Structure 1
Amino acid sequence: MSDTTDRADFQKVFPQLFTRLSKDGAEHLMQNVSRVDFHPGRNVFRDRMPTDAVYFVLSGEAEIFVEKDDRTVPLGKIGAGALLGEISVLSREMIASSTVQASQRMSTFKLMHQPLEGLLMSDDTGPALLELFSETLASRLRATAPA
C-alpha cells in the first residue's frame, strides 16, 4: 500500500488511468501497488524469463533489448509514464518478452499478477486497466510499424 504522496505521483504520471477510475477504483488500485526503485544496471525483467508483475514507471529511464542468436538487439528506451510487463499478463504466459534494464535510477509502482487479476475482473478497475494496456500495446505497434 502507498501513501498520499505516492498516489499524487502516480496520478500525475498516469493521468489517463486516474481519469477513468472512480474514487473507489483508484483506492482499490493503490491498495495493491508497492513502490520499487531500480538502480542503474539493474534488470526489471530478463528476456524469456518468468515474471510476476507489471510496473508503472514514475521516473527514470530504462533500456529495452532482446537476445537473438547470441546478439543483443536494442529496442529502445522508456521513461516516466511507461507500463512494463503487460504483455506477460495479456498473453497469460507470465514470461518477459524483452530485457528491461534501468539506465538511470528508476522509480516504479509494482503490481503483482495475482492482485492484478482481481483488479482486471473488478468493475471499478478492470475497464480502465485494460484500456491502458491496450493503448500501450497499440502505441508500441505504431512505433515499430514500417513507414
Structure 2
Amino acid sequence: MSVIKQEIIELKAGEILVKEDQPSSALYIIKEGQLEAYKEKDGKRIPLGLINSGEYVGEMSLLRNTSYTNSVVALTPVKAIRLQKTAIEKQLEQAPKWLVALTRGLVARLDLANDILKRNGIEDEKMSSAIKAIEEKNPIEE
C-alpha cells in the first residue's frame, strides 16, 4: 500500500472544521485541542459530543460515502491531520474485501444505534453539561 499524503491544519477556537450536509472530503485525526460535534435544529445548536486529541472526525461519512452528518467546531486551538477522501479510497481498494465489508458493516450498525438513540430522545446529560461549561469559558462566535 502506498503512503497517504498528510496535511497538518490548525484551527482557532470558534472555527468550523466540517459543516453538516457538506460532502465528505476528508478524514481528520485530532492531534491537539478539543472540538464539539453538534447539529442545528430550529436555529439552535444541539451538542452531540466532545472530540479530543487522538480521535477522528469524518470517518463515518467517509466510510458510508455520504455528506457530513453533523458540524464540528473548535472549542480550543486545534491541530489536526487531514487525509483526503480520494487517497483513503485508494487505500481501501487495495485492502482485503472482507476487511472493508466488516468495517462498513460496523459503521452501519453504529449508525443504526445512533438513530435509535435519537428516535427515543436518549441523550447524555453529563456530556451536554460538560459541553455547555466549556462553551461558557470559550464563547464561540458565529
Give how far 1:110 is off. 0.5
Identity of aligned residues (%): 22
Q: Which residue of 2 aligns with 1:63?
A: 36
| Residue in structure 2 matched with residue 97 of structure 1 by the alignment | 69
Runs (4+) off by over 4 Å: 144-147
What TM-score do the two structures reach when normalised by structure 2? Answer: 0.65
Q: Which residue of structure 1 aligns with residue 59 of structure 2?
A: 86
Distance in 1 of aligned mates of 2:21 and 2:42: 14
- In angstroms, what is the RMSD of aligned CA positions? 3.1
What secondary structure, in the 3-state scheme, does the structure 1 residue paired with 2:76 have? coil
Choose from 119, 123, 131 the match for 2:91: 119
Q: Give the unaligned 5+ runs of structure 1.
A: 1-24
Superposition deviation, residue 111 in structure 1: 0.7
Count of aligned positions: 114
Alignment of 1:5-84 (within 5 A): 28-29=2-3, 31-84=4-57
Please identify, of 42-51 and 99-108, the stretch whose mean Cα deviation from structure 2 is larger: 42-51
Deviation of the 1:120 alpha carbon: 1.3
Distance in structure 1 (CA, Å) of the matches to 2:81 and 2:24: 15
CA distance in 1: counterparts of 2:94 and 2:81, whole angstroms: 20
TM-score (structure 1 length as normaliser): 0.63
Question: What is the alpha-carbon distance in structure 2 between the residues aligned to residue 69 and residue 36 of structure 1?
Answer: 31
* Per-residue deviation, residues 4-38 of structure 1 (Å, max 9, x unmatched): xxxxxxxxxxxxxxxxxxxxx5xx34x42111111
- Structure 2 spans left out of the alignment, 5+ residues: 124-142
Structure with max Cα Rg: 2
Distance 1:53 1:71 in 2: 26
